[in-house]
Chain A
Amino acid sequence: MAALGAWRVLRPGRRWFSETVPGAPLPPGGPLYPPVVASITAKSKAAKSRRLQRFNQRVHAAATVEEKLRLYGKLQRPKYTVYPQTFALNADRWYRSFTRTVLVPGMPPRGAAAKPPVGAAGATLEAGKSQEPGAEAPAAPEAPGDAEAPGAAAGAVPSVDIGELRSLTCDALLQESFYQNKKRPFLYRDQDHTPGPFLTQLVSTLAASLSGRNPLLAASSLDLSPEVNYYWHHGEEVVVHGHRKGRVDPVRFQIDDNPHLQIRVPKQLPEVVPLESDLGDVPVIDHKPSKLPLFKKQYENKVFIGSKVADPCCYGHTQFHLLPDKLKRERFIRNRLEDQIEVVYRSNGIASLFAWTAAQAMYQGFWSEADVTRPFVSQAVVTDGKYFAFFCYQLNTLALSAETVRNNPRKNICWGTDSKPLYDVVEDGNVKGFNDEVLIQLVHFLLNRPKEL
């Protein structure tokens, strides 16, 4: 009925099919018709991208950070739960591919950021080779930013009395393992009996005695067993079964972490290398994450650094993780998996620090569509009570979702050491074989602060 249709269109004042308000004034010289955009509700790729754009605009336009976080995690769908402390084989490669992280062995040289960019490239090349943490201390005199006292000689940071700190450490160790009469440890809860309290005592006394040197520590907040959560999208997959079968969905991940101890500070730690540095390659894994094994669950999408957005101490300084009994060294050795021991420490460091730094960045208003404009740096110490491994993480990018990662040249960087023992054995009220290097590295970590302080 073409004539009838034409008559309907020609009738003035009746708009059946267009979206404009009848009688709206036309802009002079502007377009006569409203922009032709995709529908919002249709089952088409264009409609899907329009819905995604509207969602992104809503989040961009959110007034407060709490509102942004609420909108970001509003839609609940099944997601992979990533556990930082895991027995999965080669988990650190998988975690690096999920979080787009480059692993650099050894610790970053102190004061590398203070050097001009050319020097920084040289320093980061040094970091690329394996470096003992103890060898950091002789390298410290070359770094201009680390001038505790001019002409620092070999070994310790000179203005800190290492002997004093060593005696504090030994006292904490002896109290927990020898002097205090405790009942026998509960079955499979050895870590709560001695290493847990020892770590708490050690960190609290060291942080207190070093607070004179580091004003950032004096304004810090110490959390015992806090919760750290982060939710993100990375990659795409096709929904396998259910009423949404066949649709292309982002792969969702959630980390729910419980560090043993963490220190939060009101000012951010300085960047280690510039934002756009490229220090290595991110592993690419062709398999689905469920092969790791990782399992899907649907629950609340939480983003949390340890306290709510209103807290002034909103940046992270150092986390301390205690490995549970399930991941003891003896178990791996018994099952002939010695090379996986270091993997446990590395995967814990990478996953926990990524979650923490990314949550800190979200608390400042950045998210995957609004990438970070400054790098977020945090540190972590992973230990099982005797062996300590140190990690430093720099978050350069939050843009990991399928649309944003295509053109994203930035990578996150994690520096990490192998695990080293702090002491050999505790016998009869004496600590035998105390290793000063580990203590010095711990002191370096606690003394880390922004340049202006």
Chain B
Amino acid sequence: VFPGVRQAQWLTKTKLVEGLPPAVQGIVDNPALGLQELEERARHVVSHARLWDTTEVAPRREKYCPVLFENLIHICRLMSGKYPALSKRMLARNCRIAATWERESILLQVRGLSGVLMNSMTPIPPVASKEEILATTEHVLETFYPIAPTIDLQEVNVYKELNDTGQCFKDGYPYSHPHTLFFLESANVRTDRFRPEQLRAKMLMFAFGNALAKARLLHGNDPKVLEQPVVVQSIGTDGQLFQFMVFQLNTTDLVSNDGVKNLVWIDSDRNLYERAQCVPEVKKGVVTKPAGISGFQPDTFKKFLALYLHGTV
């Protein structure tokens, strides 16, 4: 019914900021990282995923979306040759997340397979300064009166309030800090895929769920304002369009509508390339669209890499 992000914001008591936070933007603009040379590799990688990876003429989205993601992660991981601290990361596929919280006397729960999760040994430092966090107290959450905020959510009798990503990993796991969540919309049929707005809402809910579970693990179950905010990033894609998100959990006091709010920075609808033509399109003997990748945007790849490097560089 709604733009899903607005609803998700109310449910997670979050204030939205457009664009990526300055810390991440700083990594994108930093020339010392050598992101220019990687542009050529990124172009090859996109061509591989979209054009060359199959014995048929063109790969389907179920094939090329995960392959593109794996290739991009491979390039990012190869940076650990230059920055050895990057090897303190581990990818976990198919992990289940569960988190419960109360919002104005409504009990909400996030559960499910949250795609691919990247964990790291060290947490990401908080992205917003203390002043910005305090400034969110003045921000008023948008309500949807007369529509109840829980519209379109599934009402379920929950008998066990499952609460931690410790459900996903046992104690003593060395890579204990969730770093980035990746969501791949790889269904072939368009109606099976999430639309960009819904995808962003899903990313926000799961990032919030992970951050909340981690905060409760670190600081206990009492609702309070966090001294050390927990930062979790999230990237969602359908193989061409990328959504980037950085979520900072400032408070676990979610029952009331006042007080410090959580912050989320969203950079939405970034195309990595315009079109990928497997076979040249020929009209009346003239090649109108040559084969290959056209309209490659290196900035999108740089943001992907910057979100990967964030927290270590």
Within 8 A of A (CB), among B255-281: none
In the complex, the answer to whether B55 meets A304 with C-beta atoms within 8 Å is yes
Q: Which residues of B contact A168 (CB under 8 A)?
A: 87
With beta carbons under 8 angstroms apart, the residue of B87, B92, B167, B173 that contacts A205 is B87
Considering the chains assembled together, what is the distance between the CA atoms of A207 and B87 in angstroms? 11
Bits for A211-230, please: 1 = Cβ < 8 Å to B, else 0.
11100011101111011010
Considering the chains assembled together, what is the distance between the CA atoms of A197 and B92 in angstroms? 9
Instruction: Pick out which of these stretches binds chain A: B77-85, B137-145, B215-223.
Output: B77-85
B90 to chain A, nearest CB (A): 6
With beta carbons under 8 angstroms apart, the residue of A211, A229, A311 that contacts B80 is A211
Instruction: Pick out which of these stretches binds chain A: B45-53, B101-109, B128-136, B294-302.
Output: B45-53
Interface bracket on B: 35 or more
> With A180-B92, A197-B93, A302-B55 known to touch, is A208 a contact of B48 (CB < 8 Å)?
no
> With A180-B169, A310-B52 known to touch, is A211 a contact of B71 (CB < 8 Å)?
no
Closest to B79 in A: A208
Q: Which residues of A contact B51 (CB under 8 A)?
A: 308, 310
Considering the chains assembled together, what is the distance between the CA atoms of A128 and B204 in angstroms? 61
In the complex, the answer to whether A182 meets B94 with C-beta atoms within 8 Å is yes
> With A171-B90, A229-B55 known to touch, is A307 a contact of B48 (CB < 8 Å)?
yes
B101 to chain A, nearest CB (A): 22
Q: Between A and B, how many residue pairs show CB distances below 8 Å?
A: 97
Q: Which residues of B contact A213 (CB under 8 A)?
A: 81
In the complex, the answer to whether A209 meets B169 with C-beta atoms within 8 Å is no
A387 to chain B, nearest CB (A): 24
Q: Which residues of A contact B80 (CB under 8 A)?
A: 208-209, 211-212
Considering the chains assembled together, what is the distance between the CA atoms of A210 and B93 in angstroms? 23
Q: Is residue A235 contacting chain B, with contact meaning CB distance below 8 A?
A: no
Q: Which residues of B contact A223 (CB under 8 A)?
A: 53
Within 8 A of A (CB), among B188-204: none
Q: Which residues of B contact A229 (CB under 8 A)?
A: 55
Considering the chains assembled together, what is the distance between the CA atoms of A205 and B86 in angstroms? 10
In the complex, the answer to whether A178 meets B70 with C-beta atoms within 8 Å is no
In the complex, the answer to whether B92 meets A211 with C-beta atoms within 8 Å is no
In the complex, the answer to whether A181 meets B168 with C-beta atoms within 8 Å is yes
Q: Which residues of A contact B96 (CB under 8 A)?
A: 181
Q: Which residues of B contact A178 (CB under 8 A)?
A: 170
Residue from B71, B90, B96, B172 with most neighbouring chain A CB atoms (10 Å): B90
Residue contacts A-B, CB under 8 angstroms, 12 given: A172-B90, A180-B168, A181-B96, A205-B87, A208-B81, A211-B81, A213-B81, A217-B78, A221-B45, A224-B66, A304-B55, A308-B51
Question: Which residues on A are within 8 Å of B, measured CB to CB?
Answer: 164, 168, 171-172, 175, 178-182, 197, 201, 204-205, 207-213, 217-219, 221-224, 226-227, 229, 302, 304, 307-308, 310-313, 429
Known: A175-B173, A224-B70, A302-B55. 12 other contacts (CB 8 A): A168-B87, A179-B169, A180-B92, A181-B96, A201-B91, A204-B74, A204-B77, A208-B80, A208-B81, A223-B53, A224-B66, A229-B55
Question: Which residues on B are within 8 Å of A, measured CB to CB?
Answer: 41, 44-45, 47-48, 51-55, 66-67, 70-71, 74, 77-78, 80-82, 84, 86-87, 90-96, 167-170, 172-175
